[in-house]
Amino acid sequence: MTDKKEWPLWEVFIRSQHGLAHRHVGSLHAPDAEMAIMNARDVYTRRNEGVSIWVVKASEIAASSPSEKGPLFDPANSKVYRHPTFYEIPEELGHM
């Protein structure tokens, strides 16, 4: 009863009004990029949620593997000196 060939899946990224970076909002199916943008407008920006849309084929996204989360992010764990709170600055200096 359904079509044989499914339209590719596109991941949708929207830049909101506030000048922020594009942010992932969800996905949708469309035959090509042009239609994906039109559909994204209807599905994800019905209330002025965006001023710019990016779409990218889900199959084109490379992702880190959840099972390697440990080894991938471990190196940052030990580097506490990357945070400002690592350093004690005399209070009389005021804000730094």
Partner 1 sequence: MYAQMVKTGVDHIQSKEEMSPEERAFQDRVDADIKIEPKEWMPEAYRKTLIRQISQHAHSEIIGMQPEGNWITRAPTLERKAILLAKVQDEAGHGLYLYCAAETLGVSRDELLEQLNSGKAKYSSIFNYPTLTWADIGAIGWLVDGAAIMNQVPLQRCSYGPYSRAMVRICKEESFHQRQGYDIMMKLAKGTPEQKAMAQDALNRWWWPSLMMFGPSDAESVHSAQSMRWKIKINSNDELRQKFVDQTVPQAEYLGLTVPDPDLKWNAERGHYDFGAVNWDEFYQVVAGNGPCNRQRLRTRVKAYEEGRWVREAADAYAAKKAARAQVKAA
Block residue for tokens 């994906």: 36
By CB under 8 A, the residues from 9 to 68 that bind partner 1 are 9, 25-32, 35, 42-43, 46-47, 63, 65-67
Cβ closest to partner 1, residue 26 vs residue 51: 26
DSSP 2: -
Could you tell me the two tokens for 87? 């350093």
Choose one: 1-9, 15-23, 75-83, 84-92; the region binding partner 1 (CB under 8 A).
1-9
Three-state DSSP state, 4 = coil
Cβ closest to partner 1, residue 9 vs residue 51: 9
Three-state DSSP state, 14 = strand
Q: Are 20 and 13 in contact (CB under 8 A)?
A: no
Q: Which residues bind partner 1 (CB under 8 A)?
A: 1-3, 5-7, 9, 25-32, 35, 42-43, 46-47, 63, 65-67
